[in-house]
Structure formats: C-alpha cells, structure tokens
C-alpha cells in the first residue's frame, strides 16, 4: 500500500515502543523515546470480525533492560525467546546504542547478561543471546500470511518498562501491508518499514520487540510502533490508537540469517566497531560533519577535530552520515582503516587507526 497523508481532521504521532530513562533518575521515573514522527496511511476499518477468543499469555517472553553509557540513559523493551539456549528475537531499536544488555526470562524469573548476535538496522530486527541460559521455553510461531482484517490478536510485552509479569492486551487486526516512516529530528535521518500488521490493541512504550499473538497463542508479529492520535468529529474527540507489528515471517527470515552468521549490506554479525564520532549532515557539502568526539576513542587518538567533515573511510568516499554508518557496519573491532577529513578552513588531513568495540547501531 502506498503512503498517504493522514485524513483531514486527524492528528497522529507514531512512536517506537521503547522506554528510556536518564541514568540519574530514580527507577520508575521514565520518559518515552519517540524516535521521531511517523507518517502513516489512514487506518482501514475492520469489517470482517471473526468470532474467536483472545489468546492467553504463552511462554517465551523476555523483559530486556539496557544501559547506554555514551548517552547516560537506560532503556527497556521486550524480546521473544527463539531457542532453549537463550537466543532472543527483538527490535534493533531496543538494543541500539546499548553498552550493557540484560534479559529476564518471564517464565523462570532469571536474569541473564546478554550479547548481541547480530542485527538489521533497516528491518529493525536484532538477535541477542542470554549468557549461560539453558532449558528455556521458546515461543511458538505461525505464519502471518494467514492474518486477516478483523482477526482477534493479543499483544504481550514489558509495558512501561516495569519488568515482572508481562502485560497482556487484546484487539483486532485493523489493516495489513501498512508502511510507516520514522524520522529522527536530531540528525535528519529517516527509516521506513513496510508490510506491517496494524492493530487496535493498546500496545504501549516498553512493548517493543514483544509478540503479537493469534488466537492459538502463536507469534504472528513483533510489536514495533504505536500511535496516539485524536479524530475530530463535530464537538467530540475520539481516540485513534494504532499499533504496528513486523510480520513473523520476515522477522524470522532475518533472525535465521543472523543465526547462520551471514552478514550483508543490511545485516551486521557480532560485535560492533566504533570510530568514536557523533556525526550529522554537512549541509550542501559532502561528508559527515563531526559534532562530538567520544573521549578515549580512536578518533580522539587520531586527532579528528570537532567541526571537521569526514570525507573518506577505508578508501571509500563518505558523502553523508548514513554512508559512514553503512561503511562502519561492514567493519569489526580491531580492523585498521584510513580516514580522511576536511577542516573548517578547507585543509585536508588523514590518519590510520584501529577501530575499537562500541555499542550496536
């Protein structure tokens, strides 16, 4: 389905379902990381309701907590257990930027440290592994191909990032093959997800990466975003809630590629390399403008200054921050690369450096 502007008289804001909290706040004082506004097509009314009962909670839900020391924040989301040994499927934005990850299996109540197995930034899918886990109860999956408008669905997740027993909410499939575009106002980047399942189940921040279940209790989608808008009808206001889930077939395809260790232009396997710069668009000039240098990083050691524009990386031209990110994704900690930058005065400089380990991107 092609993307359309929101209907006249409707205000909608689409947000990623991640809960973040500044590290200096006490537990429980949480703010929502929206991830930027999303433009969505108008919802399709459910016209073929099916007489099916909602599913109860099933095994395989993991509460995920992360710490992002570079940003001074903590975050919470949800994951879905893939294997008894602790491989967990979740959204990439749940673990993005994390320097520490912990996962709590909600069936045995045990908390494990976790490592990143791999991730797909464009598909918003990641796989993490719970260290030392065994004998866990994986979730059951079903193809989303059989989903239809009007089907009863259940969403399970770590709503509010509170941990403990997952919340369970029900609703119906309101549309299929939906597209949303996420824009990050901090750096001007955008992310487009297509083919999503839309539901009116009231999923909330913290539910990111959690399962959308059919009436048999099988996973048909991975919850990733939700809206909270208001439709104007005369003098009345009607709340218009829409949630979006990545179909299980697509999520599992990416997860299996990660499990096989097959990197690609979109899938990164293993640990993430770090140069140590925070960059933004350089306006009309090519390159990635250095906005901040991470202390102790390879970039600081090499003398890359704030305000410079990185123009080559490993022999490849850099014309934007997204290009630099893509080039970095193909690298791993320990790789030696040569970078070139242009100063504000127009001078060129270069250095050869060894990449270190950083948080997943």
3-state secondary structure 77-92: EEEEECCCCCEEEECH
Positions in the chain whose pLDDT score sits under 50: 1-13, 23-50, 183-189, 230-238
Q: Do 138 and 28 belong to one domain?
A: yes
Residue 205 is predicted with a pLDDT of 86
Q: Do 249 and 296 belong to one domain?
A: no
Q: Is residue 3 part of a domain?
A: no
Whether 264 sits among the annotated catalytic residues: the reply is no
Instruction: Identify the active-site residue in 124, 151, 214, 240.
Output: 124
Whether 93 sits among the annotated catalytic residues: the reply is yes
The Cβ of residue 142 has, within 10 Å, a number of other Cβ atoms equal to 16
Q: Do 253 and 303 belong to one domain?
A: no
* Number of helices (H), then strands (E), in the chain: 4, 26
What's the CA gap between 156 and 167, in Å, rounded? 6
Identify the CA nearest to 277 among candidates 321, 317, 312.
Answer: 321
Extract the tokens encoding 15: 């947000």
Q: Do 90 and 238 belong to one domain?
A: yes
Domain of residue 212 covers 10-267
Q: Do 318 and 348 belong to one domain?
A: yes
Residue 44 is predicted with a pLDDT of 36
Q: Is residue 2 part of a domain?
A: no
Q: Is residue 76 part of a domain?
A: yes
Q: Are 178 and 192 in contact (CB under 8 A)?
A: no
Q: Is residue 193 part of a domain?
A: yes
The domain spanning residue 93 has which CATH number?
A: 2.40.10.120
Residue 174 is predicted with a pLDDT of 96
């Amino acid at each position: 389905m092609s993307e359309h502007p929101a209907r006249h008289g409707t205000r909608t804001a689409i947000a990623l379902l991640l809960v973040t909290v500044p590290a200096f706040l006490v537990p429980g004082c949480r703010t929502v990381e929206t991830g930027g506004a999303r433009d969505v097509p108008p919802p399709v009314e459910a016209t073929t309701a099916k007489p099916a009962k909602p599913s109860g909670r099933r095994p395989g839900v993991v509460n995920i907590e992360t710490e992002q020391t570079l940003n001074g924040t903590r975050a919470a989301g949800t994951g879905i257990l893939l294997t008894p040994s602790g491989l967990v499927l979740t959204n990439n934005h749940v673990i993005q930027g994390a320097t520490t990850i912990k996962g709590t299996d909600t069936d045995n109540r045990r908390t494990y440290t976790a490592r990143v197995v791999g991730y797909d930034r464009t598909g918003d899918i990641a796989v993490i592994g719970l260290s030392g886990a065994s004998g866990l109860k994986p979730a059951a999956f079903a193809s989303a191909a059989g989903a239809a408008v009007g089907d009863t669905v259940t969403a399970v997740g770590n709503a509010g990032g509170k941990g403990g027993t997952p919340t369970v909410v029900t609703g119906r499939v309101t549309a299929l093959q939906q597209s949303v575009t996420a824009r990050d106002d901090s750096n001007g980047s955008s992310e487009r997800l297509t083919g999503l399942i839309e539901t009116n189940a009231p999923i909330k921040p913290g539910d990111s990466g959690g399962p959308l279940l059919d009436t048999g209790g099988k996973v048909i989608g991975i919850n990733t975003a939700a809206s909270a808008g208001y439709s104007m009808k005369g003098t009345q206001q009607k709340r218009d809630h829409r949630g979006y889930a990545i179909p299980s077939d697509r999520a599992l395809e990416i997860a299996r590629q990660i499990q096989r260790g097959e990197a690609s232009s979109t899938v990164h396997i293993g640990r993430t390399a770090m140069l140590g710069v925070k960059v933004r668009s350089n306006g009309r000039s090519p390159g990635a403008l250095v906005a901040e240098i991470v202390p102790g990083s390879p970039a600081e050691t090499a003398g890359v200054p704030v305000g410079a524009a990185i123009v080559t990386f490993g022999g490849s031209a850099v014309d934007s921050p997204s290009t630099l990110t893509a080039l970095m994704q193909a690298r791993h900690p320990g790789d030696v690369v040569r970078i070139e930058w242009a100063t504000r005065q127009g001078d060129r400089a270069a250095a050869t450096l060894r990449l270190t380990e950083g948080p997943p991107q």
